[in-house]
Amino acid sequence: MNDNLFYQMLSDLLETGNVQLHSPNLTFSKEEETSVVALLEETYNREKSGFPFEPPVFDPNAAIWAARTMYRAAQLILFREAEVQDLPKIFPAYQATITPEAALSADICLRYLPSMMFHLRSIDSDDPLLEVLHRHLMVWHYSYIKQIKEVGELNFDIFFKSDTLRQLYVDRIIEYKNEVLANHPACISYVKANMGMYKQHFWPALTQL
């Protein structure tokens, strides 16, 4: 077994969809992060074979930022050893430009955050960690489509500048039947075109389209 707990946790998560943690740890060595990036790139390369159009290239910086965010969230849910005032430092915002490459690379890990937040909410619906993670996901909202109830200030330009990511985004809207996003002016024409004459079959409740 790999003794890199960061790597092992992510490997288990990507294989089973479940989080397993054995000890509290919020920091990683460069070597540990290098191993994790290799795992995430391997996962991305497998997934991109099913992408429509030309797949964006893997972005290691976005991928490792998302992995840290997800891993630390799991740690704080199971082993709460941080004060509220420390949360911004533990969960810093992504510092580089968000691109389609970054969004798809980060999604490998960020897609698991909403389920973790659901678990945390069942423990303590007022936990301040929920708001921290919510703010991140409202920026990286491709990974949050199932749970978005209010559009607010969502920026769609990043996600729709790539044919591949736009199609994947619309596919998730339809898969999760998110009416708020489906009826948004930035999305409605793409959702309508994607379903075409089969709207009544795929989504009969969406009468506005």
As a whole number, the mean pLDDT across the chain is 88
DSSP string, 172-194: HHHHHT-HHHHTSTTTHHHHHHH
| Residue found under tokens 């960061």 | 6
pLDDT at 115 over 90: yes
Q: Does pTM surpass 0.85?
A: yes
Confidence band, pLDDT 50/70/90 cuts, at residue 9: confident
- Round to whole Å and give the CA distance between 85 and 121: 20
Using one digit for the tens of pLDDT, what is the confidence trace for 125-144?
Answer: 999 999 999 999 999 999 99
Using one digit for the tens of pLDDT, what is the confidence trace for 13-64?
Answer: 898 887 776 666 777 888 989 999 999 999 999 999 999 999 999 999 999 9
**What is the rounded average pLDDT of the residues 180-204?**
82
pLDDT at 1 over 50: no
pLDDT at 205 over 90: no
pLDDT recorded at residue 194: 86
Percent of the chain topping pLDDT 70: 89
- Round to whole Å and give the CA distance between 47 and 41: 10
For residue 10 the two structure tokens come to: 């992510």
